[in-house]
Amino acid sequence: MKYTDIQEKDFPNIFVSNLLDTNRGYNYYVEWTNVSGYEKYNIEFHAMDAMIRCKDIHTTFVKLVKRIPTVIETFPILFGLAKNDRKKVMNGKGLLKIIGSEIDSDDFQQYNFNIHDNKENITDEQIEEYYKFFVQMGLKDLYETKIEKSTLDYVIGVLVGMDSNGRKNRGGEAFELACEPIIDTICAKYDLKMIKQKKFEVLRKEGYIVSDEIANRKADFIILGNKKSLNIEVNFYNGAGSKPEEIIDSYITRQSDLQRDNIGFILITDGACWNKEDKAQLRKGFNHLDYLLNFKLAKQGLLEDAIKSIFDL
């Protein structure tokens, strides 16, 4: 089936009958490339196994830090500090500040975990401060009662869990992740270049003329080839709070703006928002947008058909 074969009267029913129940593919739950950064501390993590179920963890901690001071740099990973914050404190570009809740404590404590350049000069007093952090943050209890065999296995589990949780909180990205392999496969087949999540100004670096009106707008996907360019926007709308008329109108306007710069446009949209008794907005979208698809229609070959048409393939 080609997009041009679909009749206006048939389009709403075809579109609705192919809607998705979920926007999450396999690549949504864990981005395995994010489960990294621990490799440089393999020696430290293996050495820290000495604290597992240790009866005198304080003595072991002190000996460990004196012999391998860089174990301190691993702490932000052990307690699951958010990725961006973790990078700052581990690269020495920031300090971790903790509010002091004890009556006789300072308002907050500051901890520097980037000790790589100072590892030869770490003092006994500093070691005790880090041990206090180790206890207060719950890491002492972690080693005494929770980790059974391997610090490294625990760390990998922490990083997987953090990435998984982070993606669950980024629902808007899920549909992009689901659509990307389809778009990527088509681009590879026809030797087209795919750019994702960039402003249209990136086209200027590729030799295209882009007006200031759209240069700073962001695109989900930009496809380049045969001296032509195409914007593919992908969105998944659940029923609650989504207004089909506003969605369709906004993308009709976007297509019109892009056409002035000779940029093609395809909208891939899905979700329960479109399963309405009144299909007027779908008809409007079909009549005014060059290509309006959902995930299944895109997967069934209509996206490839549309891209071939736009790029004269």
pLDDT bucket at 170, cuts 50 / 70 / 90: low
Q: Mean pLDDT over residues 166-179, rounded? A: 69
Could you give the strand order of the β-sheet that contains 263-270, starting from the edge strand earlier in sequence? 193-199, 218-225, 228-236, 263-270, 292-293
Q: What is the 3-state secondary structure (H, E, C) of the chain?
A: CCHHHCCCCCHHHHHHCCCCCCCCCHHHHCCHHHCCCCHHHHHHHHHHHHHCCCCCHHHHHHHHHHHCHHHHHHHHHHCCCCHHHHHHHHCCCCCEEEECCCCCCCCEEEECCCCHHHHHHCCHHHHHHHHHHHHHCCHHHHHHHHCCCCHHHHHHHHHHHHHHHHHHCCHHHHHHHHHHHHHHHHHHHCCCEEEEEEECCHHHHCCCCCCHHHHCCEEEEEEEECCEEEEEEEEECCCCCCCHHHHHHHHHHHHHHHHCCCEEEEEEEECHHHCCCCCHHHHHHHHHCCCEECHHHHHHHHHHHHHHHHCCC
How far apart CA 68 and CA 72 sit, in angstroms, is: 9
Q: Is the pLDDT of residue 34 over 90?
A: no
Q: pLDDT tens digits for 190-242? A: 999 999 999 999 999 999 999 999 999 999 999 999 899 999 999 998 766 66
Specify the pLDDT at position 195.
96
Interval 130-149: pLDDT, tens? 999 899 889 999 999 999 88
| Choice between 114 and 269, residue whose per-residue pLDDT is larger | 269
Alpha carbon dihedral 277, 281, 283, 289, in 10-degree steps, equals -150
Sorted by where each begins, the domain ranges of the chain are: 3-29+170-310, 33-168
Sequence-distant (≥ 6) Cβ neighbours of residue 69 within 8 angstroms: 115, 119, 122
Position 64 scores a pLDDT of 94
Q: What is the pLDDT of residue 95?
A: 75
- CATH fold, domain 3-29+170-310, is Trna Endonuclease; Chain: A, domain 1 (3.40.1350)
